[in-house]
Structure 1
Amino acid sequence: MKCVAYCRVSKDTSDQLNSLENQIRHYSELFKKKGFEGAECGMYYAKEGKEEIVKYIPAIFADEGISGTKLKNREAFKYMLECAYRKEFDIIYVKNTQRWARSVEDGAGILKKLKVIGVKVIFEDGNINNFDHEMTINILLSTAQEESRAKSAAVQFGIKKAQEQGKFTSAIPYGYRKENGFLKPISEQLEIVKTIFNLYLQGWGGTKISRHLNNQNIPTQKGKRWTQVQIHDVITNPIYKGMQVTHTVQNTDINVSETSYSDGEKEYKYKSIKKLDESDWIVNQIEELRAVSDEVFNEVQEENEKRKELNKRGNRQSNENIFSNLLYCQHCGRAMRRKKLWGWKRKDGTRNFGIEWVCVSHDTYHNDICRFRNSWHEDVLANRIKEEIDSIRNNQEKLDNTFSEYMVQFLSSEDVSDRMTYLEVNLEEINAEIKANLKLYTKNIIDDEQYKEQNDELQTQKKELESELAKLKRIDEAREEAKRKFHNYIKFINKIDLENLDNSLLKRIIKKIEAYTYINDKGAEEKDIMIIWNMLEKSFDDIFYKKAKNL
């Protein structure tokens, strides 16, 4: 009879009797003693960081340094099962049930399948096998599983206690080192972090920033080249405003789908990491770790969200011109295009020209899509924006009154329960509409474009409702955040140099500029703009625009 052995050892084991080399020697001698023939198949598997080490060892399958709680990464074990289903051997020797598996579901399930195809698994400790001692094996597997669970719980408890004390237990972010379990700042790296935030607010993208850092020969934490993903990780990490957030996920080691076998092919699917509710997070405010102010960090998050919305609409992020990604036609919703206006020709052959912004839809398709050209000279539009900014500066009292009205209407501690009920009902209605829209699409009643347009609008409404509902659940925190954001916005807008406006600066105070053309009482065309400011949110804008004519 042909047989193999399965071995699994920890890399840091101090018990040399159970080392991989000794186990190989032990099973080679055991095969000879029993009169069995070692199978030709075999595999050694280990992992060093991202590097996988695979070797061939006849009649031995060995996973080194791989946890026994999950089958996911036990490549030698999985390959052994493939060979078993191909009937390349008749017997598998294993020292004990802990080496086989620490999960009843995995261990017992696989043993049953091997029994069906006639492959015997012999556990040396107790001299038991899957043919004759199924109940005993299940008890041992259950005990091993509980021991593993208890050990995991103890480790997680220790990690959580360390996190509550302010210790950092994850990968060290750029700009810091670890000392006795606590993060400590590296001043020269945090200066680079400040540069990243500032460049992002100036309109630079992740690719451009990473290229700039690489050209300056500035390495990452691991001494490698920067990428767009790493820049995104920096600008979205609250550690840089001194907020150390831990205990956001938990290792569950739970198998969430059945293991399936088909002609020797199998699939293991696990979900061992569970995201925890925000209320379970451990948050430590450590000013020593701060790299940027709350104001700068929050502005970067808002800019990041705006760029995501641009990508969803298929628009490329740009800060090349003063109104790039800011100016839109209110009639059709499309962006407006920058064009040169050629004027009269001088005697010396040169021309006087200016710049105008026009609706993309009308400029491309004329009246077929949008009936208004909606053109604006760039200088005229820039002066109009300056007037609007100056108007805000000179009407501080009315702005404060608007903010007070907003606080009373949306963030008052009174009638919170009624407002939450109202929002929850609206949220249910929106979810029902989303499902109905999907149903229409799946039945081919509406096309891709109609579905996407309707779904985007519904998802935006849903997001707004969920955002307000979340704020009401933490009303006091939301009130303080709104005050901070409003006062910082006014403070910033008062510092603006109106003679040196640029795209990145405008994006810090303005979400969107909507230009439109209308017919007045005399039948003539007139033009106007609506500025959607970046002060707070849509609910504030609604109140603000009702009073805008009085500013």
Structure 2
Amino acid sequence: MKCVAYCRVSSDNPEQMTSLENQIRHYTELFNKKGFEGADCGMYYCKDGKKEYTRYIKSIFADEGISGTKLKNRGAFKYMLECAYRKEFDAILVKNVQRWARNVEDGAGIIKKLKVMGIKVIFEDGWLDSSNPANEATINILFVMAQEESRAKSTAVQFGIRKAQEAGKFTSACPYGYKSKNGFLVPIPEQIEVVKKIFDLYLEGWGSTRIVKYLNKENIPTQKGRKWSTPQIYYILANQIYVGRQITHTVVNTDINIDRFEHKGKIYRSRKPIDEGSWIITEREDLRAVSDEIFDKVQKQTIIRKEMFSNSNRPSNAHLFSNLLFCRNCGMAMRRKKLWGWKRKDGTRNTGIEWVCIQHDKYHNDICRYRNSWHEEVLIKRVKEEIENLRLNKENLDKMFSQYMQSYFSAEELTEKIKELQHQLDDIKAQMSANLRLFSKDIIGEEQYKQQNDELQSSKKAISKELTKLKNIDEEKKQALLKYNNYIDFLNNVDIDNLDNAQLKKIINRIEAYTIFDDDGKEHRYIYIVWNMLDKSYDDILYKSAKN
């Protein structure tokens, strides 16, 4: 009878790693003792991160450092089944059911398939032969016991992990910029500087692809010493760890034996999201890399860019007015084009640059009937004039800022605002809990859950932030004043004759161009400048009209 043996050294017990060679030696001697003929197939399999290592071992299939919980992780075991289906041997020897599988579905299910093909599995402990009907019940009971043992261990491990998280420890892979020391995150200064650079470049108008190219060109490696990719940039830009907010315990594995399965076209996963109210959030100012203001600006910019992509616009800082100039008639961005004049007799032309409505330029009057064409030099002149006018009206700006502070930070309305925001927050939390229950009960799919949850999370963060500001009103007053003073300082010191797109975006949030006609049919064109002065919209401060 041709025979093979299966060995596995569990990843949850490092001390067993040294026993692999002993197991191989044991089965070689057992084959000789029992008179079995070793089959001419076998494999040693080991996985380290994404790298896989294999080698041939006659008659032995061995998985090293691989957990037995999930079949998909065991390369040698899967290859052994392929050999079995090709009838390269008649029997498989294995120490016990725990080495074979740790759940009933995989363990008993595979044995049944092999039995149909005439291949027996023999467990040394008790010499249980799967081809003997009298042993079937015993083997199944042992599989159930192995599965429950794994589940109990998993529960204990998850409990230990949660206790560590509650103590402020970080139990996942360290995010870029940090290392683990005794289970706690510790900043890596040189990587924190890279994080700051990524945030700064993004706010200057750089896209993720351009940032990736820059980091790779500068030979700045990732946490694992590899090249950067765009998902890693977005992960950094959205991760609250960089404002000192460590968030853990966001998902739970409801079944360690199953990752996912599909039934009637619907995908089910064992990893389920945890309600945000149960997240473990640890505030650690020593982990901060960027200010709340910079982080919030990046989140807003990300939303703006997504909207631009959906409207077939690409974020850019290539030109002075890139991603700043919009057609007020249709709301779309305006594009930069070369303007060609009439050809002279000597063959030369007058050329220039103009900015026009994208919608009108593409579809003419079908969507937007206003071309809104502006010569670039006219726009530059108008914007410089308005910036200069803003500089000369410091007293008016101070007065308007005072009005803004009274309007937004009024103590009289503070209690009512807090009550209303708290009511909105409670309502959103209730919706999130209901959405989670629907998903957990498979009433709604993952895609629908994610879409609804993302929308609710976005609203919750905005309201929570507003509520925190109101509850810390004195600090918010200081921050508002600091931002206003920083804005005025930058406005007064910037060289308006040599502005670039990044500098202009620090002064101006948006420029809207539009066209109207009077009763005589005469065309009048205007631009509105939305100054990038304050977070809250206050019309008298933020809007400044300029006639063409």
| Superposition TM-score, scaled by structure 2 size | 0.77
Secondary structure of 1:5's counterpart equals strand
Q: For structure 1, list consecutive stretches of 5 or more residues without a partner in the other structure.
A: 261-268, 429-458
Aligned equivalents of 1:38, 1:176: Cα separation in 2: 51
The answer (yes or no) to whether the contact 1:420–1:472 under 8 Å persists in 2 is no
Gapped regions of structure 2 (runs ≥ 5): 435-449
Q: Residue 127 of structure 1 corresponds to which residue in structure 2?
A: 127
Distance 1:273 1:188 in 2: 35
- Counterparts of 1:461 and 1:513, CA distance in 2: 33
Cα–Cα, structure 1 residues 102 and 370, in superposed 2: closer, same or farther, change >3 Å? same
Q: Which moved more, 1:462-471 or 1:190-199?
A: 462-471
Give the 5 Å matches for 1:229-240: 229-240=231-242
Give the whole-Å Cα distance in 1 for the aligned partners of 2:453 and 2:386: 32
Whether the 8 Å contact between 2:316 and 2:323 is mirrored in structure 1 is yes
Does structure 2 conserve the Cα–Cα contact (< 8 Å) formed by 1:43 and 1:60?
A: yes
1:295 touches 1:488 (CA, 8 Å); kept in 2?
no
The reply on whether 1:395 has 2:389 as its aligned counterpart is no
Could you say what secondary structure the match of 2:235 adopts?
helix
Question: 1:247: which partner in 2?
Answer: 249
Partner SS for 2:515? strand
Letter in 1 for 2:401: Q
Tell me how far 1:418 sits from its aligned partner.
Answer: 8.1
* CA distance in structure 1 between the partners assigned to 2:427 and 2:291 by the alignment: 36
Return the alpha-carbon distance in structure 2 between the equivalents of residues 506 and 185 of structure 1. 33
1:363-388 per-position Cα deviation (integer Å, ceiling 9, x unaligned) = 35543543212123312552476368
- Matches of 1:226 and 1:373 in 2, distance apart? 42
Residue 96 (structure 1) aligns with? 96
Q: Is the 8 A contact 2:177 2:191 kept in 1?
A: yes
CA distance in 2, matches of 1:197, 1:510: 19
Match of 1:172 in 2: 174
Q: For residues 462 and 22 of structure 1, what CA distance do their matches in structure 2 show?
A: 52
Question: Given the alignment of the two structures, is residue 58 of structure 1 paired with residue 58 of structure 2, yes or no?
Answer: yes
Q: CA deviation at 1:530?
A: 4.9
Structure-2 change in CA distance of 1:85 and 1:409 (3 Å): farther
Q: What is the CA distance between 1:101 and its match in structure 2?
A: 1.0
Find the counterpart in structure 1 of residue 317 from structure 2.
Answer: 319
**SS of equivalent to 2:72:** coil
Q: Secondary structure at the match of 2:73?
A: coil
Match for residue 156 of structure 2? 154
Hey, what does 2:467 align to over in structure 1? 476
**1:432-471 residue CA offsets vs partner (Å, 9 max, x unmatched):** xxxxxxxxxxxxxxxxxxxxxxxxxxx9999767744665
> Which letter maps to 2:275?
D
Partner of 2:307 in structure 1? 309
Q: Tell me the equivalent position of 1:447.
A: none
Confirm or deny that 1:494 pairs with 2:491.
Answer: no
Contact 1:486 1:535 in 2 (8 A): no
Q: Which one-letter code corresponds to 1:357 in the other structure?
A: W
Matched ranges for 1:22-421 at <5 A: 22-130=22-130, 131-252=133-254, 253-255=256-258, 271=269, 273-339=271-337, 355-376=353-374, 377-383=378-384, 386=387, 395-400=400-405, 403=408, 411-414=417-420, 417=423
1:6, distance to aligned residue in structure 2 (A): 1.3
Q: Residues 471 and 478 of structure 1 are in contact (CA less than 8 Å); yes or no, is this contact kept in structure 2?
A: no
Secondary structure of the residue aligned to 1:3 is: strand
**Could you tell me how far apart the structure 1 residues matched to 2:465 and 2:34 are?**
70
CA contact (8 A) 1:513 1:530 kept: yes
Letter in 2 for 1:208: R
Asked if the contact 1:321/1:503 (under 8 Å) is kept, the reply is yes
Whether contact under 8 Å (1:411, 1:475) holds in the other structure is no
Q: Which amino acid aligns with 1:80?
A: M
Secondary structure of 1:72's aligned partner: helix
Mapped partners of 1:302, 1:332: distance in 2: 22
Q: Is the 8 A contact 2:94 2:123 kept in 1?
A: yes
Choose 368-377 or 349-358, whichever is displaced more.
349-358
Q: Which moved more, 1:270-279 or 1:65-74?
A: 270-279
Moved more, 280-289 or 415-424: 415-424
**Alignment-mate amino acid for residue 70 of structure 2:** K
When structure 1 is superposed on structure 2, of 395-404 and 3-12 the one drifting more is: 395-404
Which letter does structure 1 place at the counterpart of 2:304?
K
Deviations 1:270-303 (A, max 9, x none): 9454433332322222222222221122222222
Deviations 1:26-72 (A, max 9, x none): 22232333333322232221112322111222322211110011112
Deviations 1:177-230 (A, max 9, x none): 332222223333323332232222222233333443444444443444444444
SS in structure 2 at match of 1:337: strand
SS in 2 for 1:291: coil
C-alpha distance 303-546 of structure 1, shift in aligned 2 (>3 A): closer
Instruction: Using the TM superposition, give the Cα deviation of residue 100 of structure 1 relative to its aligned residue in structure 2, in angstroms.
Output: 0.9
In 2, the alpha carbon distance for the partners of 1:65 and 1:225 equals 27
| Deviation per residue, 1:232-277 (Å, 9 max, x gap) | 33333322222222233334424255699xxxxxxxx994544333
Tell me by how many angstroms 1:309 deviates.
2.6
Q: The residue matched to 1:413 in structure 2 has which SS?
A: helix
Show the counterpart of 2:441.
none
Q: Structure 1's 380 and 523: CA in aligned 2 closer, same or farther, altered over 3 A?
A: farther
Please give the per-residue CA displacement for 1:117-167, whole angstroms capped at 9, x wherever unaligned.
332222111222334322222222222222212222222222222222222
SS of residue matched to 2:54: strand
Alpha-carbon RMSD across the aligned residues, in angstroms, is 4.3
Residues 339 and 355, structure 1, Cα contact 8 Å, conserved in 2: yes
Matched pairs, number: 504
Q: In the alignment, is the contact (CA less than 8 A) between 1:61 and 1:76 conserved in 2? A: yes
Q: Percent identity?
A: 54
The whole-number CA distance in structure 2 between the counterparts of 1:62 and 1:419 is 54
1:456-501 deviation line (CA, Å, top 9, x unaligned): xxx9999767744665688733745995886665455433326535
Amino acid at match of 1:299: K
SS state at 2:71 partner: coil
Distance in 1, Cα, partners of 2:340 & 2:504: 27
- Partner secondary structure for residue 134 of structure 2: coil
Q: Which amino acid aligns with 2:199?
A: F
- What is the alpha-carbon distance in structure 1 between the residues aligned to residue 451 and residue 31 of structure 2? 67
